[in-house]
Amino acid sequence: METPVTVCYAPCPIVFDLDGTLIDSAPDIQDCVNKTLATQSVEPLSLQTVRSFVGGGVDVLWQKIIAATGLPPARHADLVGDFMRSYHTATSLTVMLPGVAEALEVLAARGHPLAICTNKPLGPTRAVIEHLGLSGYFQFIIGGDLMAEKKPDPAPLRAAFTGIGADPQKPVGIYVGDSEYDATCAARVPVPFLLYTQGYRQAGLEQLPHLAAFDNWADLPGLVAASVE
């Protein structure tokens, strides 16, 4: 589902999602989830299952885990608290997706202001991008615990664009992400959305509004250039 082209003049601000877009963090998330489940004598969840639960933030993650495992919903806050104790510093199993650093280097060299808008809490976000050597590329970061709203609400993405100099009422820029949350959020701002197809999305490409899709990070600078006058 393609969206209309919105002209963005160089240097065009670009905001990125994190999990499933810049990094594959699902193995670390799975590890932290299963550590918490072990304290409840619950069988571990598979990587595929945990990956399918990622994207809406920690509260949504645990709502889905509770529904899948039959844990008492009243334990939600305790389970999240236990999970966060290990998740804050969980970086050892997370990897940068191939070609990400090279694409960011090209975009930064062209003068694009870059930011992150993620539903991942800010602490784990900063920990993982520092661990992977990515923090120097981003001038602004919106984590999932900085605002009352989370994606797909447009407020966090608007705040991210504002943080790198866009008009807070009518931001002009590009959002890059991998999921239903990201596509819907971009459409609600609205800004053009570039969809990374190898991430954590559950819906088909045709169901997600996007300007263009890519499965190789080497293609992203060209897609950005084609969207910029």
Catalytic residues: 17
Selection from 122, 165, 169 nearest residue 141 by Cα: 122
Q: Are 75 and 12 in contact, with CB atoms under 8 Å apart?
A: no
Query: ∠ CA 104-109-110 to the nearest 5 degrees?
Result: 100
Contacts of 41 (CB under 8 A, 6+ apart): none
